[in-house]
């Protein structure tokens, strides 16, 4: 056994969480090592070839606002961009791109390769090194070498004791083509952390040259594509369309006849799968009244014939997959390049995590599917949080924390910590109570200042943000300075009451359906406002009138987040607190009053008891608040 030089932070795993964790740690200034079993597999899109969507697109924008790498890579690899919910309000619109797998992987590897302070190491981590106090101080690799570290971030994805299922066949694997992490999984089992099994799945991959495309519906990208990164304005490569087809009754009959041969329905899998991304077996059983289900035929690359049939993930035997796939219109003679499969893996109860994603084992941080989530975007967002906080701790800085009031990242972390998971967690806009404020379009306005303070945002991003904010401020000044009478507003066709009240043009934009040509009539200087700034001013103004109540609620939440609960507080000894609530509080260990408030069954009286104890324990801090 021999030692290499010391690192501040070691990140285990080169998936979406690991890549983002390593990049964030290095950006902050920590000497960082990213360890992957195979360097050439860093940044691989294991499942569908897409980034973003509803809720997920919000997370990508927030990662980007903090100078993360997912949005940049997605834009450089995007072969079809669509803004989902375009006809609805900006609060629920989600940017999404279909990506070229190879280009995305290359982009991630290039971004990591040019990140100063980051070393990429090929190897398998088989053990965690601990000091006498139990703190994790490094990792041991399969070859016996040891990397010392002040903090370790574990982003194991589906690799911890991963098992691949196809029908009644099962084999060990982290994903198709990669070995599982068995020894590390066994080592973690000795830590006494609450753990469980989850599963996810993929559809078979198809040879696009054997699909009968004629007669199938086509889904093109948007004419005016919206990028995932605030730094980009247009696609970097050629754009393509997706095909659309549907399952039918014959498809469903084949699946129904073979349910007992499915790994999931045949009793071979104990893990729970994602309810919001059901397999074809789940669809046939749960939606028995439906005669067909939509399938998107998504190209995996510009120079790759492989097609990802989004909507028919499965764990049926390969021969059954071939039969039911060929029952679908356009796929009658298709060749399956790789069968679909389910994968089962270990996760740890996220309700045991601290708000910075440090586990109950000091010095060890968790991010991604190991915390019970599903999806590239959820994993990457956790990776950024864990990597940034591991680096902050290693450098002796304050933790970088997120709130439900400021970000979807904060919503996700709070959901995981306060509720745990009973199925793989997926982000939706409906999970956020402050979604009128937490929009994809204003993620930089919300989070880039935090990133600047934390040292996460580099010079180029900072300059771009400051220039944008300057343009926004100038535009708002121009539109606020012009005050209009009701008669002036009537002159441009607005039905306003003749009460003599004057309104600024910015207030008019917020309250009335007014065209930009009318704005120019009222404020000729507005011609100086560029298109991008004009659209952002319009979106900000649209929601301004609705945000007062949400702002008050958000401020109340943030005030409660400032009331810290002592880590050693014995809830069972609080007089007047029920045994049931004391047990729940002891299990969840809320770090502040806001987290305690969201525990199921919490009462106002119990919150007052906790608040009184916190103020008694820390009178000076309570007075300051």
Predicted confidence (pLDDT) per residue in 242-274, tens digit: 999 999 999 999 999 999 998 877 666 776 777
625 pLDDT exceeds 60? no
551 pLDDT exceeds 80? no
> What's the pLDDT tens digit per position in 590-608?
888 888 888 877 777 788 7
* pLDDT at site 624: 43
- Across the range 289-299, mean pLDDT stands at 95
Q: Which helix (DSSP H) or strand (DSSP E) does residue 450 occupy? A: helix 443-454
Residue-range domain boundaries for the chain? 2-201+345-454, 205-341, 459-549, 563-614
- Across the range 222-242, mean pLDDT stands at 96
What percent of the chain stands above pLDDT 70? 96
Tokens of 38: 């195979």
Lowest mean pLDDT among 228-232, 487-491, 492-496: 492-496
What percent of the chain stands above pLDDT 90? 67
Q: Which overall architecture, per CATH, does domain 2-201+345-454 show?
A: 3-Layer(bba) Sandwich (3.50)
pTM of the model: 0.90
Average pLDDT, the chain: 91
Is residue 316 very low, low, confident or very high in pLDDT (cuts 50, 70, 90)? Answer: very high
Is residue 3 very low, low, confident or very high in pLDDT (cuts 50, 70, 90)? Answer: low
- What's 205-341's CATH class? mainly beta
* pLDDT at site 77: 98
* Alpha carbon of residue 438 to chain centroid: 14
- Across the range 464-478, mean pLDDT stands at 96
**Who has greater pLDDT, 4 or 270?**
270
| Cross-strand pairs, 195 | 348
Tokens of 367: 């991010």
- What's 459-549's CATH class? mainly alpha
* Alpha carbon of residue 280 to chain centroid: 25
Is residue 478 very low, low, confident or very high in pLDDT (cuts 50, 70, 90)? Answer: very high
**Who has greater pLDDT, 584 or 415?**
415
> What's the pLDDT tens digit per position in 561-572?
788 888 888 888
* pLDDT at site 622: 42
Please state which CATH number belongs to domain 563-614: 1.10.150.570
Strand 163-166 vs strand 136-141: parallel, antiparallel, or unpaired?
unpaired
Is residue 1 very low, low, confident or very high in pLDDT (cuts 50, 70, 90)? Answer: very low
Is 563-614 in the same CATH topology as 459-549? Answer: no
- CA–CA separation, 438 vs 77, rounded Å? 26
- CA–CA separation, 447 vs 461, rounded Å? 12
């Amino acid at each position: 056994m021999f030692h290499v030089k010391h690192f501040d932070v070691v990140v285990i795993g080169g998936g979406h969480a690991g890549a983002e964790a390593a990049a964030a740690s290095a950006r902050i200034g920590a000497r960082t090592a990213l360890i992957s079993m195979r360097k050439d597999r860093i940044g691989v899109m294991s499942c569908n070839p897409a980034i973003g969507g509803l809720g997920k697109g919000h997370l990508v924008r927030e990662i980007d606002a903090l100078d993360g790498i997912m949005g940049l890579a997605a834009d450089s690899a995007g072969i079809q961009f669509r803004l989902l919910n375009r006809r609805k309000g900006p609060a629920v619109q989600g940017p999404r791109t279909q990506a070229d797998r190879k280009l995305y992987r290359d982009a991630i590897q290039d971004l990591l390769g040019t990140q100063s302070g980051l070393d990429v190491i090929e190897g398998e981590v088989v053990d965690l090194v601990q000091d006498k106090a139990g703190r994790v101080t490094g990792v041991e690799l399969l070859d016996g070498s040891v990397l010392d570290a002040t903090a370790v971030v574990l982003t194991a994805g589906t690799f911890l004791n991963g098992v691949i299922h196809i029908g009644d066949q099962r084999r060990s694997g982290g994903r198709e083509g990669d070995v599982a992490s068995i020894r590390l999984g066994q080592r973690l089992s000795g830590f006494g952390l609450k753990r469980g099994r989850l599963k996810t799945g993929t559809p078979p991959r198809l040879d696009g040259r054997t699909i009968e495309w004629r007669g199938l519906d086509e889904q093109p990208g948007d004419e005016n594509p919206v990028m995932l990164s605030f730094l980009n304005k247009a696609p970097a490569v050629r754009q393509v369309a997706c095909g659309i087809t549907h399952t039918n009754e014959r498809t469903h009959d084949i699946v129904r006849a073979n349910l007992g041969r499915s790994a999931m329905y045949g009793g071979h899998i104990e893990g729970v799968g994602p309810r919001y991304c059901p397999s074809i077996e789940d669809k046939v059983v749960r939606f028995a009244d439906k005669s067909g289900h939509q399938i998107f035929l998504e190209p995996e690359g510009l120079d790759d014939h492989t097609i990802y049939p989004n909507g028919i993930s499965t764990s049926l035997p390969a021969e059954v997959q071939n039969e039911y796939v060929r029952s679908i219109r356009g796929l009658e003679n298709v060749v399956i390049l790789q069968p679909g499969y389910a994968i089962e893996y270990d996760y740890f109860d996220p309700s045991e995590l601290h708000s910075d994603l440090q586990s109950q084992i000091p010095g060890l941080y968790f991010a991604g599917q190991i915390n019970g989530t599903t999806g590239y975007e959820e994993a990457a967002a956790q990776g950024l949080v864990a990597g940034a906080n591991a680096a902050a701790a290693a450098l002796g800085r304050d933790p970088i924390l997120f709130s439900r009031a400021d970000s979807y990242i904060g919503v996700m972390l709070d959901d995981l910590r306060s509720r745990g998971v009973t199925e793989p967690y997926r982000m939706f806009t409906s999970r956020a109570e402050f979604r009128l404020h937490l929009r994809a379009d204003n993620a930089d306005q919300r989070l880039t200042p935090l990133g600047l303070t934390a040292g996460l945002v580099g010079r180029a991003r900072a300059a771009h943000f400051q220039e944008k904010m300057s343009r926004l401020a100038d535009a708002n000044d121009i539109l606020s300075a012009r005050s209009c009478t009701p008669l002036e507003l009537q002159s441009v066709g607005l039905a306003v009451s003749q009460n003599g009240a004057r309104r600024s043009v910015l207030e008019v934009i917020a309250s009335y359906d007014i065209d930009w040509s009318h704005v120019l009539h009222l404020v000729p200087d507005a011609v100086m406002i560029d298109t991008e700034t004009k659209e952002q001013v319009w979106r900000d103004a649209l929601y301004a009138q609705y945000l007062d109540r949400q702002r008050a609620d958000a401020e109340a939440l943030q005030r409660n987040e400032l009331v810290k609960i002592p880590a050693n507080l014995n809830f069972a000894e609080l007089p007047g607190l029920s045994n049931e609530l004391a047990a729940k509080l002891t299990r969840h260990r809320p770090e502040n009053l806001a987290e305690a408030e969201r525990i199921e069954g919490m009462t106002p009286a119990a919150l007052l008891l906790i608040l009184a104890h916190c103020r008694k324990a820390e009178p000076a801090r309570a007075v300051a608040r």
